[in-house]
Structure 1
């Protein structure tokens, strides 16, 4: 039995790869936006959204672990991308970490730029432990 509920709101079209609503009780964990930096602060995957997405999810996983959480605890992901066409690569990386039968709520936003030109993707996460 999941500690979360995934209500299906009336009058809202089903999400494609995300849930509109996730509820649960527990300790709130907020993970700052992660970019494709390795442990030494070097960019991974210059110009490659798939490589960057894999590094970003590895960073999110490390942050969740530090908080005593896992991707099973994630209720919300926010994606910031410099080109919306990167979403398939992001979803492929995401699907290696999240339960796609009950995915977290998500938002994807295309932005003009991130904090450095090398950064194509930034993702933040919210979890309940």
Structure 2
């Protein structure tokens, strides 16, 4: 799919024409917008073909193939970016959980120290 798209120099309409590489710089919302437009074009094309007396054969033409290729590419990029964002969020959540646990450990250690007598604290200080 990628080689075919690159060899055909496939472009997508989004605030002008953009390349496949540009898709990776878009938000999921923007990719969804492109996807919806392509699906609408595909539906219109299918309706137009169904109403035509000339296009009665089952074989799809270049327009159909190009629309399907674009839809497949946008879907693949969307899935890739979504997976990357989900993985980043998972790492952030794990780091937040780790920081929270380290904070609780520090609180427990401070609580343990605060329960010690002055002489015990002085002894600890002298041993440092």
Q: For the superposition of Structure 1 and Structure 2, which TM-score range results when normalised by the shorter chain?
A: under 0.3
| Higher RCO by CA contacts (8 Å cutoff, separation 6 or greater) | 1
Q: Which has the higher strand share?
A: 1
Structure whose alpha-carbon radius of gyration is higher: 2
TM-score, normalised via structure 2 length: 0.25
Q: Which has the higher helix share?
A: 2
